[in-house]
Amino acid sequence: MNRCGNLTCRCKADPPTLHGPYPVWTRKIAGKTVTVVLRPEHATLCQDWNHNMHNLDRIVRQMQALGLQAAELLRQS
C-alpha cells in the first residue's frame, strides 16, 4: 500500500485511503535498492521462487549442522 504524489488524492485524506496493494520486487544492485512493480502473473512466479529459496536455505543450514556434528565426532575419536 502506498501514497502517490498528487496533493489532492484520497491517499492524502484523513484517514488516508492508500493505493494498492501492488506486488513489488526489491533487490540490491551495485549497492543500491531497486524496486520494480510486478504484474500479478510475475508476482506469483516470484512467490514460488522465494518459497524455493527459503527451502534451499533451510536445507543448506541443516547440511552445515550435520557437517559440524560429523567434524565434532571425528575430533573426538
Residues 30 and 46 in one domain: no
Predicted TM-score (pTM) of the model is 0.59
Residues 23 and 37 sit within 8 Å (Cβ to Cβ): yes
Q: What is the pLDDT tens value at each position of the chain, 77 positions in all? A: 888 889 999 999 999 999 988 899 899 999 999 999 999 899 999 999 999 999 999 999 999 999 999 999 999 98
Residues 3 and 31 in one domain: yes
Residues 31 and 43 in one domain: no
Nearest CA among 29, 64, 75, 23 for reference residue 45: 23
Residues 18 and 30 in one domain: yes
Residue range(s) defining the domain that contains residue 49 = 39-77
Give 19-56 as a DSSP string: B----EEEEEETTEEEEEEPPHHHHHHHHHHHHHHHHH
Helix H or strand E segment including 69:
helix 40-76
- Residue 10, helix vs strand vs coil: helix
Q: How many domains does the chain have?
A: 2
Residues 1 and 30 in one domain: yes
Residues 57 and 74 in one domain: yes
